[in-house]
Amino acid sequence: MPFGAETEEDGRVRFRIYAPAQSSVRLALEGREPLPMHADGTGWHELTTDQAKAGSRYRYLLADGTQVPDPVSRYQPEDVSGASEVIDPRSYAWNDKGWRGRPWNEAILYELHVGTFTKEGTFSSAVRKLDHLAVLGITAIELMCIAEFPGNRNWGYDGTLFYATDSAYGRPEEVKAFIDAAHARHIMVILDVVYNHFGPEGNYMPQYFPGIVTDRHKTPWGQSLNFDGEHSDVVRDYVIHNALYWLEEFHADGLRLDASHAMIDDSPRHILDELRERVDALSNAENRYIHLILENETNIANKLQRDDQGKPTNYSAQWNHDITHLLSAAFGNLCSGKDGAEEETGKLAKALAEGFVIAAQMQGAPLEPHVPPTAFIAFIQTHDLIGNRVFGERISALVPPHQLHAIAAICLLLPQIPMLFMGEEWAATTPFPFFCDYHGDLAEAVRKGRCDQLSKLDPAPSQEELARAPNPQDDATLRSAQLLWDELDQPAHAAWFDWYKRILAVRHESIIPLLASLPDACGTYEVIAPGALKARWIFPSGAKLHLNANLCDRPNTFGPATGRTLWLEGSEDNDNLNSWTIRWSLEA
């Protein structure tokens, strides 16, 4: 990296920081007198010394004596405000030499929060659960943010040191061991990253580099990173090298860019385009699959297009938030008889067959560019969908099992890329409420802000419910979210796991081979009645995949199955699908 602490071949360590607002910067190695750094007149301060080595702890001393951590620290053993530690990235011995990743069409994603995946909440303990994911049929883990955040618990999306793996989860080499072990089981690892704002605690960079953020653009969480103003070249390098850092040093198989709509950039070359080009160059140089995923409030399908062989030419996929119309079905709105039920059914059918209900127009691109279903990630649960309920309940605690089976059967065999939230596969009883670890006035402000956010839910919770909402600052809130793995020993939860394992086996055998070379959109849909729909996908091979879905408490007429039935969830009677019945069939 062009900045930070880099171990040299001769045993010395080079330290480099961009601090244009400081006339001088000194290196403070623990146990030694501060060493002056050379200022080159362009904002950079640098020193190469034999007084440091891997394991040395250090800070930077600003001109007024303020001590700050390295903004590109690889490890913070004493949290965001403590000393940084020199890490030699070459010290870990990798075992995945032959690993080249997996094609995107093979992805079955599993969203995972390290701090609640096991009771210990560490990468070392998570390694012991990888065989469970392999047996289930998972081919890609999506890790919620692991960059250093304040305190011992957080969802991870308010990090302040983008390069440091959070010390609550383990050391950098333990993160690498987890990824190494996943690769040994043919499972990809994709990391969530946040490149739109810094968290409210532990960000010292504006003190010596005010241009890291800008007042010209705002995000809901604070100042935007400065991608298009003075000094933006350094900011862009800071973000792009961070992406390359995770992909090279940690052998990650891809990145998910959280809230990428908030990466605001008015320059001629948008940061999203530059980042993707640099990652493409790495992918080509190392001859391996690297996948970039967008999470975006606008449906920017023009960044999801494919070449003639179906290979992504831009971003691999985007979270398909429109798919949450499935939740309307789960909560009984599609067949309620209310005005708009048929329109809502049409939106769901379109989201299933085509991806986005309405695609955003950007940079003069067509309103709805034709992209294949693999450009969309489908889900019925995510950390947001669960955590933004007052009590963080999972959908399995809110709807009857037969309805949940039906909507899961749609999502898991859909030609879009499916994603599970950890524990979904056994209908885990643990909630996933929002939690963090701030103190003082900031802690109280976050608690009040959380209540204000929850009060705006539709339908709005009562004051009594808000009063009982879990306190994000309470350690018990984190503990309540930690998965109870012994639930798998209970017959009801074991049955759920068996169901998920069997349906994902069908996806591996019958759906994934169809997705290998999809260059274009291939889905159509039809609304049979409110809550009842058909969808069909025609593949380059000529095969036709059919979905008949009756998400109602009464039968609806669909006609006989076309081709071979792959999966029947519920029951059929002649030409009728009975209540909450899903039928997938394949026509050769």
Quick: pLDDT tens for 182-240: 999 999 999 999 999 898 888 999 999 999 999 888 888 888 999 999 999 999 999 99
The residue with tokens 């990235």 is 89
Q: Poorest-confidence range of 98-102, 203-207, 335-339?
A: 335-339
Looking at residues 509-514, what average pLDDT do you find?
97
180 catalytic residue (yes or no): no
pLDDT of 535 strictly over 50:
yes
Residues 6+ apart with CB under 8 A from 42: 20
Hey, what are 561's tokens? 């199955």
Distance of alpha carbon 255 from alpha carbon 365, whole angstroms: 25
Please report, for residues 132, 137, 538, the alpha-carbon distance to residue 109 in angstroms, rounded to integers and kept in the order given.
Answer: 14, 10, 24
In 422-531 the beta strands, taken as DSSP E runs, fall at 523-529
Kindly indicate the confidence band of residue 369, based on its pLDDT and cuts at 50, 70 and 90.
Answer: low
Q: What is the mean pLDDT of residues 76-91?
A: 96
For the segment 70-79, what is each residue's pLDDT rounded down to a tens digit?
999 999 999 9
Give the mean pLDDT of 133-138. 98
Q: What's the pLDDT score for residue 367?
A: 46
- Is residue 56 within 8 A of residue 86, CB to CB? The reply is yes
| 232-248 vs 271-286: helix crossing angle, rounded to 10 | 30
Give residue 360's pLDDT band: very low, low, confident or very high (50, 70, 90): low
Which residue among 79, 111, 249, 258 is the active-site one?
Answer: 258
Taking the CB of residue 159, how many other CB atoms lie within 10 A of it? 25
Residue of higher predicted confidence among 325 and 535: 535
- Output 73 or 308, whichever has higher pLDDT: 73
Task: Confirm whether 295 is a catalytic residue.
Answer: yes
State how far the Cα of 568 lies from the Cα of 581, in Å rounded to an integer: 7
Give the predicted TM-score (pTM) of the model. 0.96
pLDDT of residue 368: 53
Collect all residues with Cβ–Cβ distance below 8 Å to 321 and sequence separation of at least 6. 297
Q: Out of 88, 295, 393, 474, pick the active-site residue.
A: 295
